[in-house]
Structure 1
Amino acid sequence: MCGRYASDIAIDDLMAFFDAKPGTAYAWAGRYSIAPSTRAPIVREWLDEGELHRDVDEARWGLRPGWAKESGPRPINARIETAATSGMFRSSFASQRCLVPMTGYYEWETTPSGKQPHYIHGPGPLAAAGLYAARKDEVSGEWALSYTIITREARDASGEIHDRMPTFLLPDLWDDWLTPDKLDDKDAMVEALTSSSEQVAATITTHRVDRKVNSTPKADPSDPSLIAPID
């Protein structure tokens, strides 16, 4: 699974990389530690009176569809094997798909001395396949976004540490993935995700990082040393 990641890319660079407008994430400065329930940027496309928008919007990590109960689960990951058919995810898979910008993610290895974190990353920014939902706040009346990250069987350096990884996409699949049009063939999209993510996985490497990453409350999300390699 993906339970913590880094997205230390400021909003101007995100807009340039994804050819998107700033949306509600206009003040995003980047973070080296993003945990569940944290608000972070996603890239999505949506229609407004027939006009297509591609925005970098702020969303809460942990999907909460509009029909879900307040006390219900807020899954941070969706398995690629069932995301298109699961009751929790199938509506978002059909027409509310997004990209989750990352520079890398963390996994933990169990050692005799405790849990050792590893930072798993590519040579540049990564785009993980995500699903999002929009929900209207009953008090303020404003719309809030939430998201989940699609995972797959590990094919990258994390395979030695954990059996799952985010499903990363190559740029040539971004347009098809982001379109708000309802999918005609979900199976074909799953196949495309699988193929694209395997190509990205071949470029990904890992290194050990300081154990201060282990404590979410104590890990300063603005501290670049969180992703620095250690011996």
Structure 2
Amino acid sequence: MHVADTIDDLMGFFDAEPGTAYDWAGVFSVAPSDPAPVVRERLVEDEVHREVDYARWGLRPAWAKDSGPRPINARLETVASSGMFRSAFSSQRCLVPMTGYYEWETTPSGKQPHYIHADGPLAAAGLYAARKDEATGEWTLTYTVITREARDASGEVHDRMPVFVQPDLWGDWLSPAKIDDRETMTARLADSSAEVAKTMRAHRVDRKVNSTQKVDPADPTLVLPIA
């Protein structure tokens, strides 16, 4: 995942306040378990506040065991009913800002990364969980990205894509109110993401992006096309 926008960009694009991600400067590679900005709404003294907060990629609900799975993706087809995600789908929804994302093609010489993007910022549907650290007393956020069958340029490389959300659905998706009609919201997400998918395109990038351990997340050449 690639989130090049700074906190000022994100605040302006999402009409949000700076939360814990007040110092976000943008990176060109976000890997699972990395902290990254998410946009969420929450009630504070009966007022709804939209904030940009840090969260780690890999959902870890408060009820989950330490050794349990930390899914980075949730399938749109089952997210509203799955035991892992249905509670968050009901009342802990977020947007995951990204400028683009990576998918990999298997070739005889190894995995070839492709960068999939649009002309401007993107907002993927996500779910978040808040968990209190018993040792420090601090709250941490984790998140997962909702995916669907590919309808964008990634379909040539991978069969899934993030569920991207158009601005006219942001308010209803981010609202801290519980969702009563889950089927309708799922259908709205499917329609919205299909429209965004029409604007997406892909190109091959350098294989150095494959090594999350060694790659420099601040390296802008990660997203440049190669022959």
Query: TM (normalized to structure 1)?
Result: 0.98
* CA apart distance, 1:184: 1.3
Residues 1:76 and 2:72 are matched in the alignment = yes
Q: Tell me the equivalent position of 2:39.
A: 43
Aligned to 1:111: 107
**Residue equivalent to 2:16:** 20
User: Could you tell me which residue of structure 2 aligns to residue 101 of structure 1?
Assistant: 97
Within 5 Å, give how 1:38-187 maps onto structure 2: 38-187=34-183
Question: Deviation at 1:30?
Answer: 0.4
**Offset of residue 142 of structure 1:** 1.1
Q: Secondary structure at the match of 1:65?
A: coil
Who is 2:206 aligned against?
210
Aligned-partner residue type, residue 76 of structure 2:
I
Q: Residue 78 of structure 2: SS of its match in structure 1?
A: coil
SS at match of 1:53: strand
RMSD value over aligned CA atoms?
Answer: 0.5
Q: Secondary structure of the residue that 1:7 maps to in structure 2?
A: coil
* Cα distance, 1:215 vs structure 2: 0.6
Q: Deviations over 1:154-210 (max 9, x none)?
A: 000000100000000110000000000000100000000000000000000000000
Deviations for 1:133-163, whole angstroms, at most 9, x for unmatched residues? Answer: 0011101111110000000000000001000
Residues in 2 aligned to 1:46 and 1:196: alpha-carbon distance in whole angstroms: 23
Does the residue aligned with 1:82 lie in a helix, a strand or coil? Answer: coil
Counterpart of 1:138, as a letter, is E
- The structural deviation recorded for 1:13 is 0.4
Match of 1:32 in 2: 28
Between the two proteins, what is the percent identity of the paired residues? Answer: 72
Distance in 2 of aligned mates of 1:135 and 1:20:
23
> Aligned with 2:8: secondary structure?
helix
Q: Name structure 1 gaps, 5 residues minimum.
A: none
Aligned with 2:220 (options 198, 221, 224): 224
> Partners in 2 of 1:188 and 1:145 — Cα distance?
27
1:38 shift after superposition: 0.2
Following superposition, the deviation at residue 14 of structure 1 comes to: 0.3
Counterparts of 1:48 and 1:87, CA distance in 2: 28
TM-score (ref. length: structure 2): 0.99
